[in-house]
Structure 1
Amino acid sequence: MKDLLKELEKYDTPSITNAIATYPQKHDTCLGQYHPWNGHWYTNQTLKCMFPNLGPKAGVVVTVVYGMPDPLYERLTFKDLLLALDKIKDPIVLAVKQNFPPKIKKRNGLLGGNMLTAFKSMGVVGVLSDGPSRDVDEIRALNVQYMLTGVTAGHGPFAIEAINVPVNICGMHVMPKDIIHMDENGAVKFSSEMVTSILDNVKRITEAEKKRQNMIKKTTDALMIAEILKGVYD
């Protein structure tokens, strides 16, 4: 799987979405795995990429839910999260659900340099969260993609509520051991069984788009451009 994930990183996330479900009528290049609008298979505009220059990252999903400390439930610790990461032998994308009251969630710099350094050591190549975090300057050098709703400077007490449960991150429903592909455009999820088919599709899509765009660059004739793009948008 590691080699296949590296191969996926050669392509941007919009191209991956095209190969999965964006154009279900195109049976030769789209798997039609989800309903394009209603499938909850990619993130919405609230998720922001902190390091666009890093390019695409792809990995196996581990999920974690953080919330306010609860003296009636103190079963999980940071060690448990590290052990969950240690079980995955492929590159990992950590999906962090922030289950905080809205007022606190908006100002919660949950993750930071210490956590991300530990995650990097455990094989994490990307982190996405449906809330803000901090220490962007420290994390930049780790080469870990970092996708958040924003940044804040501080936080108060917090605790782990769950590890490896289904979560919703900015409109995308994620299960443990899904695959996530992420870049400055957002993130998309899919099952590991789809990887080879996605790669086949995205290669065909990329080759066709390069050919089409090269043809467009060579003309300023509106009718010719319309003919080149015939069937793409209509």
Structure 2
Amino acid sequence: MSLSAATLADLAKFDTPTICNAIELFFVRPRNTGFMNDTIKACFPKFPPMVGFAFTTTFRSMASPPKGDAYTGLADQVAGYDKIPGPPVMVFQDLDQPCVSATFGEVMCTIYKSFGAQGIITSGTGRDLDQVEALKFPAFTSGTICAHGYCHMLQTNIPVTVGGIWIEPGALLHGDLNGVTTVPIEIASEIPDACREIMKAEQYVLDYCKSGSPNAKGLAEARKACQAHLDGVIERVRRDK
């Protein structure tokens, strides 16, 4: 299923927790699945949300590759961007445990961004963070290591495990300072409107708490109004299926 550029831009208007809340309204997966765990953190928390499709790669840096150098495979990667349904997010599974050295630095991220990538995620680490931040290229890692060791890529566009979840090539990803989630493509076009409805529902509680003299009874009534709004959204979603 393809998504329009307008839909992707609309998804990027919302933070990742709101996206996760919206996904829950569609009952397409258990609430404790589909998002990366706390091993994956935003390198640049002030960046706006990142939205794109997973371009997956496995990676090692413990020992020299059979042939080539640290950047062997980069041209093949960018040449393969047309194999996924839209703008890519580079997703790396570092197979070395523990991680030996950085998955990416300034050169790799410059290449990826120049070919249209929206960001990078690795189960390993990154480096050159000042330079990557200056590129305005979102990055998510498990940490930082100053050297690249014998970094090399093994396979691309295969399922990988990052942040405790299985990522298929072409999976739709949304990430910000709160973390990274997958977005089921079959409901992705409906998620922005659901996000707007969630924000309207939450406003009942937020407005009441800011009213100046809240009490338990009033809070219960505000929460009831919030839930009634959400129940209406859920009913519409189920009716439209």
Q: Which category describes the TM-score, using the shorter chain as reference length?
A: 0.7 to 0.9
Residues 123-180 of structure 1 show CA distances to partners (whole Å, capped at 9, x for unaligned) of: 1112111111101100112121111111111121122111011111111221111110
SS at match of 1:52: coil
TM-superposed deviation, 1:220: 2.5
The separation in 1 between residues aligned to 2:113 and 2:119, in whole angstroms, is 9
TM-superposed deviation, 1:222: 2.7
Structure 1: gaps spanning 5 or more residues: 22-29
Number of matched pairs: 218
Return closer, same or farther for 1:72/1:154 CA change in 2, 3 Å cut-off: closer
Q: Which residue of 2 aligns with 1:114?
A: 107
TM-superposed deviation, 1:90: 3.2
TM-superposed deviation, 1:89: 7.1
Q: Check conservation: 1:125, 1:143, Cα contact below 8 A.
A: no
Q: Which residue of 2 aligns with 1:193?
A: 186
Q: Which residue of 1 aligns with 2:66?
A: 71
CA RMSD of aligned residues (A): 2.2
Q: Check conservation: 1:126, 1:144, Cα contact below 8 A.
A: yes
Q: Which residue of 2 aligns with 1:205?
A: 198
The separation in 2 between residues aligned to 1:120 and 1:165, in whole angstroms, is 21
SS at match of 2:197: helix
| 2:173 pairs with 1:177 | no
TM-score where L is the length of structure 2: 0.83
Once the two structures are aligned, what percentage of the paired residues are identical? 28
| 2:89 pairs with 1:93 | yes
The separation in 2 between residues aligned to 1:135 and 1:3, in whole angstroms, is 32
**What letter corresponds to residue 198 of structure 1 in structure 2?**
I
Q: Check conservation: 1:90, 1:123, Cα contact below 8 A.
A: no
**What letter corresponds to residue 111 of structure 1 in structure 2?**
F
Equivalences for residues 30-41 of structure 1 within 5 A:
30-37=25-32, 39=33, 41=34
SS at match of 1:208: helix
SS at match of 1:44: coil
Structure 2: gaps spanning 5 or more residues: 228-241
